[in-house]
A and B are shown apart, each in its own frame.
Chain A
Amino acid sequence: MPTGAMIATRFMELRKRRGLMIALILVNIGIPTVFLLVRLLAHAFAPKSYGPAGGYDVYTGLCTGVLYVFGFIVAATLGCSAGSVDLTEGMFRHLVVTGRSRLALYLARIPAGLAIIVPLVAAGFTIVCAVCVFAAPTRLNYDGVNVPAGLSRAGFESWAGNHPDIVICDFPYNGPGLPNVPCGPNGPVVNVPPGSQGLAQITPSQLKAAALLIARQDYSGYATQFLYPSDSLMVKTGLWIELEALIGLIVGLGLASLLGQRTVAVILMIVLEIILTPIFSRAHIPHLLNLQRSVVGVAMAHLTPSGLPVFGGGGGGPGGGQGNPLLVPESTTVAVCVVVAWLVAWTVLGAWRMMTRDA
């Protein structure tokens, strides 16, 4: 097993790769920070034109579109570096001659890599959480209408009853029982001009009843809208993103060790994340379904926390990755097994190659 000194020196060697560290920091922390900073400044200088910088939608977009994808790619880059630079820079020979087990030499790279990537991903995620929570909007934009956030069903219906004109004309509704209320530029047309045919006069109580009907149907959709992410969602998202980074590191490390070089390994990892995973997640290829399910990105899509959309769009709905009809079906148990299998298999492959390679 690797010693603490081996892990520490491996950490030092990776940390001192200035170009690599700058790239990791720029992507993991810089991109979301700059994005949010621009939004903060825009809202500060022109609040009527630019909404609040944070909020639930910004959070979900950054987490699934930026932190998740780029976190994987930078972790993979780090893993590919850790798995190949000793060989390409000629240091591997010296390490073998020390007599230390090659397996220990390989395994030392894992905690060293994690010591770099976990804090970086956490830092970027923390910035996103902080801005999305503290700079969140104060009123919810539900279907283009500003409504109070966090109302119970009764509270939502009560609010709807007090704002029937908004609810009737601006909220979506599919169902029977709604009086034929035409909507004008200023809300429902309730006073029929003298001599008009066919339109009965709508009373305020009828309007209120109609608003309540709409509110009852729309409450389930409203309940999924939040001003900012909840604590539990943030914890689950953080763990999910860190798991994706772990996968990127371990698979990148194993692949680069197998290939003996970094560049091709990084390219393959990017192809896996950006091209193959979205295709395999959604295309239902009849004879390849089991193969699709065995792709780690598909498994991770099924482990997306509820409340987040799945990477690549399509919406996660209340069940997150599970229950998303657009994804290739896969149970949570199988998804977890696939993730574990990838972590173990690539570690074994990378270690095997390091142990058998001519130094």
Chain B
Amino acid sequence: MSTTTLLDTSSHQAAQSRWAVETHGLTKRFGENVAMNGVELLVPRGCAFGYLGPNGAGKTTLIRVLLGLTHADAGTMSLLGYPVPKHRDLALARVGAIVDEPRFHGHLSGRENLQILAAAREPAARDRIESSLERVGLLHRADDKVSKYSMGMRQRLGVAACLIGDPELLILDEPMNGLDPAGMAEMRDMIVSLVAEGCTVVLSSHLLDEVERTCDAVAIVDRGKVIRQGPISELLAGASLALQVECSEPDRARSLLEGSTIGAHIEVGPLGLGITLPAGTAREVIAEINRILVEGGISVYRLQEIQASLESWFLQVTSRLGAPE
């Protein structure tokens, strides 16, 4: 089989793959430290995917391994259906990425830096420089030296560098760093528009509320392992049910509820009772709590269900609060 035929076959197989990023057993060690420990990750095509984890969990290491910036010690991975590093050139031709803080040649302008990167890509990339600069709002400063750019401008130039490759997959490591609220909103809108155009965006971030607003699915990594992944709505549905109760006698209310068969974890705080029920608890339990308190002669001023947020769920499942569910 000729090389052209092999590549055609690879391209066909890649196009049929439903995963933008696929890893199995991916491992990376730095001396004694295991930064990635058998990572199993599946990122579906055409979505915004958040990759979350505490500091030192291995988020940036995974991104660097996927992009070929460092090598993996074990495991397999593919980008857009192309196994890497075997077909790294084919995969990365359609991938754009920002890893850590984007840095460029300071003595060159933004446009000249993009020309260098476009030259390393396919010839058509050069024609996308202007449109990419315009899309990130840097066209009016494109001929200024990068040494005069602010951090936010460099971040945007980094995004422009991704866009000149007309990517099908965008991998962004902490893209909100250095951006003011307006910049964050612009970045969020751009991610949403790229996803709408069919691009897959993988976003690594500490800003959980930004991820919750931007992403459709997430994976949580802790101590080098992916411990949860899936659509945000499904993951939050598995979160604990939390209630806030403001009543006349919080201590007696607590005793009443702890003596019941509800099985809730109850804390008394300045705002009243904080009640946490296990995941999967039926909503009828909320009514049961109200009945127990009222029949016990306690006046209930407010009973409110606290919507599970990505942050609260994240804190529940990461090792910082103990064993995962």
Listed in ascending order, the chain A residues whose CB lies under 8 Å from chain B are 3, 5-6, 8-10, 12-13, 16-18, 85, 89-91, 93-101, 105, 358-359
Knowing A94-B117, A99-B95 are in contact, say whether A17-B104 is a contact too (CB < 8 A): no
Can you add 18 more A-B contacts, CB < 8 Å, to A12-B112, A98-B165, A99-B93? A5-B118, A5-B126, A8-B119, A10-B116, A12-B108, A13-B112, A16-B108, A89-B105, A90-B104, A94-B161, A95-B116, A95-B117, A96-B68, A97-B99, A98-B93, A98-B121, A101-B89, A358-B70
Asked if B24 CB lies within 8 Å of chain A CBs, one says no
Q: How far is the CA of A278 from the CA of B263 in the complex (A)?
A: 87
Give the residues in chain B near A358, CB-CB below 8 Å.
64, 69-70
Interface contacts (Cβ under 8 Å), in number, total 88
Asked if B176 CB lies within 8 Å of chain A CBs, one says no
Contact with A along B107-119 (1 / 0, CB 8 A): 1100011011111
Contact with A along B94-136 (1 / 0, CB 8 A): 0111011111111110001101111111010010000000000
Q: How far is the CA of A8 from the CA of B115 in the complex (A)?
A: 10
Across chains A and B, which 9 residue pairs bring their CB atoms closest together, nearest first? A90-B103, A99-B92, A5-B119, A359-B69, A100-B120, A98-B120, A9-B119, A358-B70, A9-B116
Contact B91 A13 (CB under 8 A): no
A256 to chain B, nearest CB (A): 16
Give the residues in chain A near B117, CB-CB below 8 Å.
94-95, 98
Number of B interface residues in the complex (CB < 8 A): 37
In the complex, which of the residues A17, A89, A93 contacts B99, with contact meaning CB atoms closer than 8 Å?
A93
Knowing A6-B119, A17-B107, A91-B105 are in contact, say whether A99-B126 is a contact too (CB < 8 A): no
CB pairs A–B below 8 angstroms (20 shown) = A5-B118, A6-B119, A10-B116, A12-B112, A89-B105, A91-B103, A91-B104, A91-B116, A93-B100, A94-B102, A94-B104, A96-B67, A97-B95, A98-B93, A98-B117, A99-B91, A99-B92, A100-B121, A358-B70, A359-B68
Asked if B188 CB lies within 8 Å of chain A CBs, one says no
In the complex, which of the residues A18, A89, A93, A95 contacts B120, with contact meaning CB atoms closer than 8 Å?
A95
Asked if B206 CB lies within 8 Å of chain A CBs, one says no
Residue of B nearest to A89 (CB): B105
Q: How far is the CA of A95 from the CA of B101 in the complex (A)?
A: 15
Give the residues in chain A near B67, CB-CB below 8 Å.
96-97
A168 to chain B, nearest CB (A): 67
Give the residues in chain B near A359, CB-CB below 8 Å.
64, 68-70
Contact B105 A85 (CB under 8 A): yes
Q: How far is the CA of A13 from the CA of B105 in the complex (A)?
A: 8
Give the residues in chain B near A99, CB-CB below 8 Å.
68, 88-93, 95, 121
B84 to chain A, nearest CB (A): 10
Contact B69 A96 (CB under 8 A): yes
Q: How far is the CA of A105 from the CA of B101 in the complex (A)?
A: 22
Q: How far is the CA of A302 from the CA of B90 in the complex (A)?
A: 49
Contact A91 B113 (CB under 8 A): yes
Give the residues in chain A near B96, CB-CB below 8 Å.
97
Q: How far is the CA of A250 from the CA of B149 in the complex (A)?
A: 34
A24 to chain B, nearest CB (A): 15
Q: How far is the CA of A250 from the CA of B239 in the complex (A)?
A: 61
Give the residues in chain A near B101, CB-CB below 8 Å.
90
Residue of A nearest to B125 (CB): A98
Q: How far is the CA of A31 from the CA of B315 in the complex (A)?
A: 67
A35 to chain B, nearest CB (A): 31
Q: How far is the CA of A347 from the CA of B108 in the complex (A)?
A: 27
In the complex, which of the residues B90, B115, B123 contacts A12, with contact meaning CB atoms closer than 8 Å?
B115
Give the residues in chain A near B103, CB-CB below 8 Å.
89-91, 93
Give the residues in chain B near A8, CB-CB below 8 Å.
119
Give the residues in chain B near A3, CB-CB below 8 Å.
119
Give the residues in chain A near B161, CB-CB below 8 Å.
94
Give the residues in chain B near A98, CB-CB below 8 Å.
92-93, 117, 120-121, 165
Q: How far is the CA of A10 from the CA of B113 in the complex (A)?
A: 10
Q: How far is the CA of A94 from the CA of B119 in the complex (A)?
A: 12
Q: How far is the CA of A358 from the CA of B35 in the complex (A)?
A: 15
Q: How far is the CA of A103 from the CA of B118 in the complex (A)?
A: 17
Q: How far is the CA of A358 from the CA of B96 in the complex (A)?
A: 18
Residue of A nearest to B96 (CB): A97
Contact B120 A105 (CB under 8 A): yes
